[in-house]
Amino acid sequence: MNDFEIGFQHQMNKLNLKRKDVADALGITMPTLKSKLRDPEKLTLKDVRILEELKFNVNQLTEQ
């Protein structure tokens, strides 16, 4: 697990979200979410905006 995934998991826990909730909000499958978390450069601008709507602190995630 990389630093981005760890920070992402921490924020999910704080927001009381499951990976399935995030995948559904992004309109992607669980394997696709896992792929994007392993390689955050695969996240699109649309993904980032949706994460912000879910109250993720995207700036904090990118500082990892």
pTM higher than the cut 0.75 = yes
Cα separation of 57 and 52, whole Å? 7
Question: What are the residue ranges in the chain where pLDDT is below 70?
Answer: 64
Looking at residue 23, its pLDDT comes to 98
Contact 54, 22 (CB under 8 A): yes
Range 3-62 has CATH code 1.10.760: no
CA dihedral sign, ordered 10, 12, 15, 18: negative
* Domain extents in the chain: 3-62
